[in-house]
Structure formats: structure tokens, C-alpha cells
Structure 1
Amino acid sequence: MLKKIGLSLLTSLLLALPWLGAGGWWAVIAFVPLLILQSEREKKFGWWVALSLFGWIMLSAWWVSVSTIIALFAVPIVGLFFSWTPFMIYHYVWKRAKGHLAWVVLVTAWISFEALYTYQDISFPWLNLGNAFAETVWAVQWYEYTGTFGGTLWILVANILAFNLWQERKSLKRRTALLIWVGVPTVFSLVRYVTYQEKENPIQVCVVQPNVDPYTNRMYRDDLAAMTELLLTLSSEAPKNVDFIVTPESALTGFFKEANLPQYQVINIFQEFLRRNYPKATFVFGATTLDEKEHYNSAIWVDSSAAVDVYHKSKLVIGTEMIPYPEVFEFLRIDNISDYCGNYGTQAERAVFKRTGAAICYESVYGAYFTEYIDKGAQLMFVITNDAWWGDTRGYHQHLSYSRLRAVETRRSIARSANTGISAIINQRGDVVDELGWDKRGVINGTVNLNEEKTFYVEYKDIIARLSVFILALSLLYFAAMLVKRKQ
């Protein structure tokens, strides 16, 4: 019993280590203890799989409970379903058709369920396996071709090869296969990382981190005048040639009618500030906006002219910003408590202004979604967020690291404003060039390069996930036909 518990929890720990800041390499052997346990034909194997995956999720993402206690239950339960189910599909096949077919089912089923968890209403792709290398971006520069689903494929096959090596420890063939599978992409990535050169097309950015506690500071919710003064004071530290001043999600408190945005006094104050100090610059800040039908978590572009541009966040956080499958879960809506809870609007397409796009908070977790800004012409990306909701935990570190992956996938520089957490400037290799850490108020001034070229991943997005669904369907059909033939 102790051996079974140990093997299960060892998989939990090895899977969690990348999200705890120990680097992505642990993921390439993380499933080996669980596969060893399976090889011993444990009758209650499904329970040990559940223990392993539940432990991984809790170790990696327990911090979601800081903002809402419901998430402490919802994230592991739903996440467990989308990870346990593909593993048990593989286990069912493994017991009846060992060999290559079982391995193909494991890889394609896992990727298919990751894709399902990414693209449906109930979505939390935070722990997709390909994200394990988010803090080891030098090793996955090839994500510009595959995205994170390529990383998931790489990790799963590496685990299979590592398990095969464990079974035949003296096999030169097994050693060579594992070395080639892990080593070749790593060497390619390292060479790409060292040799990648950004084209000179400089833009000056100022990233503002106001560091206002959303739980205890009245300014965040109620005092627009004080918040405006703070933002302007910090923005005064920008250089005279600044092009963009980027502030966080919900930087402006209150609600703003979109039809009247140019007439709001606070908008006029920002415009006048720019005319006097930075006539060529543009402010980008977060606010809640309304039209005749909906209210939105928005990013707003304001320059020294009368023009005001707005983008609406469209990947929403379940519960606080949207109700999944509203035709089914409409009864969960809590309009009687707040008119602005679980009921935010979205827009059908990404929007780009002045060759820039702004991913708002949770949107930066979605690779293919992020590429839609590039499709619309974004040559520079902003990420505006408020990571203070999660407290001083691993949550804001993980969130920053996903922006690093987006930079690699799209080869776009990113200016990230986080209220508090980690505001940063990220280059096109995914390096954090400069940052402002937790509980610090200030600005980051820096130069980034525009890039108009599109990567393979931008063009073809999650093709690996689509192929996996197709191959899984064929594999399961073949397996079903094999069982029928065997019975006959």
C-alpha cells in the first residue's frame, strides 16, 4: 500500500514542480511512477490515477481559493475529469491491446481532452502540460511552430520512452530513442534562442504598476479621482519620447457608457495630460464600460486627440464574469446580488488599434486566441491584468510566465501591466527584459520592437490538437473493430 501511495504522489509532485518554479524538465518523467504502478496490474488503478492527478492540481493551483473559495472545489473537480478521463481511456485500451495502439491513444486522448477543456465554456487550460515549460522558454522556442499542444505531445512521448527505458534499463535502443526525442528539439530550441534577432523597429513603452490592494484599498473601488491622480503621477515618470503608457485591468474605477466616453471628465484629464506632456503618446488602461445591452471588462486607448478606442475582454472568468452554458445554468446568475456579476458581454473578434492589441487578464492564457490579435495586425501586444486578487502566491508568477509563452508563439514583444503581481517587458524570445515585482509601486520604461511577420503557429494555430482528435477517433474505431473481431 505504501508503495502505491508513494508512486502516485511521486507523479503528483513531479507534475507540480514546473508550476512551483522548479523548471519544466520534471514533466518529461512525471508519469513514469504512475505507469510503473499500472504495469503491476493494480485492480483499483483508477483510484491511484485520481490521487495522482488531484494532488498535482492542488499543489499547482491551490491559490485560486484566495479570490473565491468555490474555485478551490471547482478547479480540482473539473480539472480531474479532463485529465483522469483520457488516462482511463488509455488504461482500458492498454489492458486489451498493449503496444503502440495504447500509447497512441494515451497521447491523442490527453491532447484531445486538453483541447476540449480549452475551447468549451467550462475552461481552465492553466495546467495544460505544454505550459510546464513556461519558465524555461529557452528550451521551447519551437512553440512558434506548435504552440503548447506541441509541448504536451513532447512531454507525453518522453514519458512513454522513459518508461520503456525503465523496463529495459540496459537497452541502447531505448536510451537512444529517449535521448533523440528530448535532445533534438532542445538543441534546436537553444540554437534558435541564441541566434534569434529582432528586427529594429523600436517603440517606447511605459508600464505602470499602481499597486492598489483590491481587497482593502477604498481607492480601487470607489475613489476615481484618487486613482486618476495616482496613475497620472506615475505616468509622469515616462520619458518624453514615450509612445504608449500601459496601465492595468480596471485601472479606472466605476462604469463608463461607451457612447459618451469622449465626454467623460476623467478621459479629458488624460487627454489634456498627454497634450501637455506627451503629445505623441497613447494611454492604454482598463475600465468597465457599458452600451445599451451589455457591460464589459474593457481596454481603452486614449491619445491627445478626441479619439477613444475600446476592446472588450472575451475570454471571461467563470462565475465572476460569466455563467457557462447559460441556457443550462441560468439559475446560477446572481443579478439579485449585483448587476455586474457573472454577466459580462464579449465581442466576436479581436480588435487592434495603433498596431497594438491588449489581452485582458485571463485571455493571455489562451495561445490560439492570442494569435487572433496578430491576425488583425497587432505588431506589439499588451497584457493588462490585476493579479492582486491571488495574493502573494505562485499564481501571479505562473500568469506572467504564460505571457512569455505567448511572446515565443507569436514572436511579439509584450508590455505587461499587472496592478501588482509582476509587471514586465518581455522580448520576442520570451525573456523578461525588465520587471516590477510583488507589492511594488512604480513604472518600467523600456524599448520594444514591433514585428509584422507571422509565425507558423499564428497561421495554423492548434493543428496538433485537431490532428489528435482525428487520430484518436481512428484509433478507437480500430480498437472497437479489433474487439469485435476477437469476439467472433
Structure 2
Amino acid sequence: MRVHDHLTFRAWRRRLNAPPLPGWLGDMFGGAALGLLGLPSPLAVLAPLPLAFLHHRLARSPHAQAAFGRAFVFALSFFALHLAWLPASMTEMLGPLGGLLTLLVLPATALTWAVPLALTRRLFGTSTLLALPFAWVLLETLRTRGPLAFPWGNPGYALTGTPLNQLASVGGVALLTLLVTLTASVLAGLGSRRRPALVALLILWSVAWLWGRGVTAAPASTSRTAVLVQGAVDPRLKAQRRTWEELGLYLDLTRGALRSGAADLVVWPETASPLPASEPEVLPALLGLDVPMLVGAPGDVPGQARNSAYGVNGKVMGRQDKRVLVPFGESLPFAGVLDFLYTSVLSSLGMTGFTSLTPGSQLNVLQLKDVQVGVSICYESVFPRLSLQAARTGANLLVVMSNDAWFGQGAGAEQHFQMGRLRAIETRRFLLRAGNDGVSAAVDPWGRVQFRAPRGERGAYRASFDVSSAPTFYVQYGDWVSWVSGVVLALLTVLGVRRSKRAPS
């Protein structure tokens, strides 16, 4: 036995003749560690450490089935903590059955990690550690697509609270994901032959950290004022019946804020108005405020239920419909096939009148004087491609309208806000956020929170902002990190095939 073996936990277990611990227990603790480090914890920057454990386990798996089991246990443990707020909030809103059904999200989301990671082990064999970072980028890109899109848990968001977040202006959250998972692979493969890789990684982190500190040294210039209105209306009451009192509440809060000074823009949250802003009962009241406005309200397309944002300035200047709907909250995925199941479940929850919303089909940048606004409605703020499209179409300001009161008092609303902050960095645009009960905030183009209203308090808050049209590298070249990752994986596949042909049978 070598000298240093006396100092290892494994050596002491052998000397004590203790039975070996089951491998799944380590996977469970590794996933739990990542969950405890995750957003909104400031320790999230340490996420590469538990991910290194996962990468090591995947690379050492004897076959793809073992890799799948290890990845699934790790992911299930992670999402059980990262999304602990979800069943808790749904129990509060929909009762015990609603919370119980929400638990199904955990294994389903764990599969979105386990299947691609096991496939990576199957395809790349001895090159698994090298392939994993690029596979992570692609799998997280895929998790933002389709009717079940749910990007919560993306490893790249672990760097949101650090100067490394400025890399998002170069390659979006995908570049952060690549950095985190590449770090995990280097740590997982540490050894005498891997020391140059570790040194290179330390240099990369140091340079990126210093660059991030440098570009955020100067304060952001602000020459305009926005009023962010936070009505704090109970979402359960909104779901039961919309009332004129809601509209009156938002009008009164806005008038009160405008009495203390003029504003360049007023932003109301998602579904603040019970009727479309274009309705004769609503529009005159909005015009009476005599200020450019963004109003969350139902869509005004006959025969369709839509979640929309209206630009109002002397008239209705345009409407942006919500394009990405919340699965099972605003839409019923695969309803044509699963209609019998949805009918039974909705009846048990007392929601027999539930109707899926109609998603918007196009981007409409809303112009209010010289401010051109790209609007994301609630859930949409965690999808980078939407703000990217808006910036490319001429938006010089990003706005998020939300109703995070559904999240309850858990970590969900904070996670939602912190993920959305990266949209400001990716595009170098100010981001204004108005939430029903929060988070209402102003974020500058470097992702710094310039103003944040107390969550849960009713009020209208003044916040400074400005407009910008300068394109970032990410705005110019889009999701290039995903394309590069795909090319790298293709090359590794070709090299693997050639290597296997040259190997003796």
C-alpha cells in the first residue's frame, strides 16, 4: 500500500472491513449538493464541483445503462431541491392533488438530463469527458424547444452572480454552460497528465473574471424614468373572476406615481387589466393618464384566448402576444392524444372550464416615441432567443411583464428573476420588470440591479433607465456556441469511428 493510501477514506474502509456504500447514494448526494448550491444561492459558482463528480461517474460507467442510472439519480436529487418550490406552490394554489401531480415534473425533468448524458457515454466511450461539455450545451438548447420546454436548472445560470456573467454578451447563457461543464470535465479527469488542462482552465477563469470586472467598472448612464406598477392582486382571485376593481387599482397607483413627477414610460404587469387595452371601456382611462404605457391584458383576437402586452401612446400602438406558453399552466401539450386524461384530471381539480391559450406567432417590437420595446411575458424571459430576436429587430429596451405570485414564497420567483437578468447582459439593453407581486426591478445592460421593489407590497415605483441599440457579439452572431458544440461532437464521432476501425478486432 502506498503512503498516501493510508490517508484515503477508501483505505480506512478496507481496514475496518466495512461494506461498500451503494453507488447510487453518492449520486444522490452529488445531485443534492448541486441543488443546494443552485440559484439563488451566492455559492452557485461552485456548481462545477458536484458536476465534476457526475462527469467522473459517467466516464467510469461500464455501459450506457449504468450511465443512465447514475445520471438519473443525480438529476432527480438535484431537481427535487432546485424545484422544491413548485409542488409547494401548486399545493397552495390547487390543493393536495395539484401538488401531488406536480411531483411528476421532477422525474420527467430528470430524464431530460439522464437520457442525453447516457447517450453521450454510449457514443463517445473513452472520450466522454471531452464530449460532455458540448453535449450539455446541446441538451440545454433542446430543453428550450417544443411544447414541454422547461429550461430551469441550466448549469450556465450558476455564474449569474459573478463577473463571469459578462461572457453572456459574447455567447449567451450557452457560453456560461460550456465554461461550467468544461471545468467539471477537467476536474473529473485530474491527474499528472491533466495538469496542463487545469492550468489553462485557471488562466481562462482568471482572464474572464478580470474582463468581467473591467467592463462593469463604470456606472450605467440613465436619463429616463419608468414607473413600475405592482398591484399585488391574489392570483386565485384573478383565476376565479376578473373585476373592474383591478383596473381601478392600477389606474390609481399610476396616477399617484405620476403626481410626484413625469415619467417616460409606465409598465403594468402581466394580465393587469381584466379586458384588452383596445376595449372602449378601458382605452379612454389609459389615454387619460397621458403617458406612454405597456399594459398586460387579454388579447383582442375574437374567439381566441391570448395573453398579451399592449403599447399605448395616444392610441394602441401595437400588441405582443405571448409566444411561449407554460406547459400544463397555459397549454395542454399533446391535447389531441391525451384529451381523455386531461378531462379527468381537470375535473378532479375543479377546473373543467380550463382552456389552453393561443400562442402568438410573431414578434412585434412596440414603439412608444423613440423607445422601441421588446416584451417578454413572464415565462418567456428565460428563453434567450426571444430577446435576441427583439434586439435584432430594433428593440432598444427589454421589458418583462410577469405574475410570479403563482410561485408563492419559495425560491421560484427569485430563480425566474435571476435567470432573466442574463437577457440584459446578452443584448446590452436595460431590462425593466413589472410583476404582480414582484419581482419588479430595473436591470442595467451589465446585469446589475439598479432598482428592486419590495416583493409582495402594493405600489408604483419610479426607476431610472435608458435606451441602447449597440449590438453585442451575441446579438450579431446568435447561438454560435450551440453550432460549434454540434460541430465538435460530429468531429469526435468521426474520430471515434476511425479509431475503432484501426483497432485490432
TM-score range, shorter chain: 0.7 to 0.9
In 1, the alpha carbon distance for the partners of 2:29 and 2:334 equals: 36
Q: Once the two structures are superposed, what CA deviation does each residue of 1:314-343 show, in whole Å capped at 9, x if it has no partner?
A: 011112222335665566665996565224
The correspondence for 2:112, drawn from 82, 92, 95, is: 82
Is 1:157 the equivalent of 2:177? Answer: no
The correspondence for 2:209, drawn from 174, 186, 202, is: 186
The equivalent residue for 1:287 is 297
The structural deviation recorded for 1:441 is 1.3
Structure 1: stretches of 5+ with no match in the other structure: none
The one-letter code of the counterpart of 2:257 is E
The structural deviation recorded for 1:224 is 2.6
The correspondence for 2:130, drawn from 101, 104, 109, is: 104
In 2, the alpha carbon distance for the partners of 1:84 and 1:220 equals: 36
The equivalent residue for 1:451 is 468
TM-aligned CA distance change 1:262 to 1:56, over 3 Å: closer
Q: Verify the 8 A CA contact 2:133 2:181 in the aligned structure 1.
A: yes
The one-letter code of the counterpart of 2:214 is V
Is 1:321 the equivalent of 2:351? Answer: no
**Pairing 1:196-207 to 2, within 5 Å after superposition:** 198=220, 200=221, 202-207=223-228
Q: Once the two structures are superposed, what CA deviation does each residue of 1:135-182 show, in whole Å capped at 9, x if it has no partner?
A: x143211210110100111011111122233x449x753542331132
Is 1:145 the equivalent of 2:146? Answer: no
The equivalent residue for 1:357 is 374
TM-aligned CA distance change 1:341 to 1:262, over 3 Å: closer
TM-aligned CA distance change 1:144 to 1:372, over 3 Å: same
TM-aligned CA distance change 1:338 to 1:11, over 3 Å: same
The equivalent residue for 2:11 is none
Moved more, 465-474 or 394-403: 465-474
- Give the aligned length: 465
The correspondence for 1:311, drawn from 304, 311, 320, is: 320
The structural deviation recorded for 1:436 is 1.6
The equivalent residue for 2:86 is 64
The correspondence for 2:359, drawn from 320, 323, 345, is: 345
Q: Verify the 8 A CA contact 1:368 1:458 in the aligned structure 2.
A: no
Moved more, 466-475 or 185-194: 466-475
Q: Verify the 8 A CA contact 1:352 1:377 in the aligned structure 2.
A: no
The correspondence for 1:398, drawn from 415, 429, 436, is: 415
The correspondence for 1:49, drawn from 71, 76, 95, is: 71
The structural deviation recorded for 1:293 is 4.7
3-state DSSP of counterpart to 1:314:
coil
The equivalent residue for 2:229 is 208
The structural deviation recorded for 1:125 is 1.0
TM-aligned CA distance change 1:159 to 1:263, over 3 Å: closer
Q: Once the two structures are superposed, what CA deviation does each residue of 1:225-268 show, in whole Å capped at 9, x if it has no partner?
A: 21122112211223432011111111112x54xxxx54421221
The one-letter code of the counterpart of 2:228 is V
Q: Verify the 8 A CA contact 1:62 1:72 in the aligned structure 2.
A: no
The correspondence for 1:267, drawn from 258, 283, 288, is: 283
The structural deviation recorded for 1:109 is 1.9
Q: Verify the 8 A CA contact 1:397 1:422 in the aligned structure 2.
A: yes
Q: Verify the 8 A CA contact 2:278 2:300 in the aligned structure 1.
A: no
3-state DSSP of counterpart to 1:182:
helix
In 2, the alpha carbon distance for the partners of 1:484 and 1:426 equals: 54
The one-letter code of the counterpart of 1:173 is P
The one-letter code of the counterpart of 1:76 is L
The one-letter code of the counterpart of 1:208 is V
In 1, the alpha carbon distance for the partners of 2:477 and 2:340 equals: 39
Is 1:23 the equivalent of 2:43? Answer: yes
Q: Once the two structures are superposed, what CA deviation does each residue of 1:333-359 show, in whole Å capped at 9, x if it has no partner?
A: 659965652242312224332211221
Q: Verify the 8 A CA contact 2:367 2:373 in the aligned structure 1.
A: yes
The one-letter code of the counterpart of 1:351 is V
TM-aligned CA distance change 1:402 to 1:41, over 3 Å: closer
Q: Once the two structures are superposed, what CA deviation does each residue of 1:112-142 show, in whole Å capped at 9, x if it has no partner?
A: 12111112222111211112223x1432112
In 2, the alpha carbon distance for the partners of 1:174 and 1:157 equals: 10
Moved more, 36-45 or 341-350: 36-45
The one-letter code of the counterpart of 1:164 is G
In 2, the alpha carbon distance for the partners of 1:140 and 1:71 equals: 35
The structural deviation recorded for 1:419 is 0.7
In 1, the alpha carbon distance for the partners of 2:459 and 2:27 equals: 45
3-state DSSP of counterpart to 1:356:
strand
Q: Verify the 8 A CA contact 2:59 2:129 in the aligned structure 1.
A: no
Moved more, 227-236 or 392-401: 227-236
In 2, the alpha carbon distance for the partners of 1:296 and 1:271 equals: 23
The one-letter code of the counterpart of 1:460 is Y
The equivalent residue for 1:32 is 52
The equivalent residue for 2:310 is 300
The correspondence for 1:226, drawn from 245, 248, 265, is: 245
- The normalised TM-score by structure 1 is 0.87
Q: Percent identity?
A: 23
3-state DSSP of counterpart to 1:298:
strand
The correspondence for 2:32, drawn from 13, 22, 28, is: 13
3-state DSSP of counterpart to 1:265:
coil
The one-letter code of the counterpart of 2:136 is W
- The normalised TM-score by structure 2 is 0.84
In 1, the alpha carbon distance for the partners of 2:501 and 2:101 equals: 43
The one-letter code of the counterpart of 2:485 is S
TM-aligned CA distance change 1:362 to 1:5, over 3 Å: same
Instruction: Give the CA RMSD over aligned residues.
Output: 2.7
In 2, the alpha carbon distance for the partners of 1:186 and 1:359 equals: 29
Is 1:2 the equivalent of 2:25? Answer: no
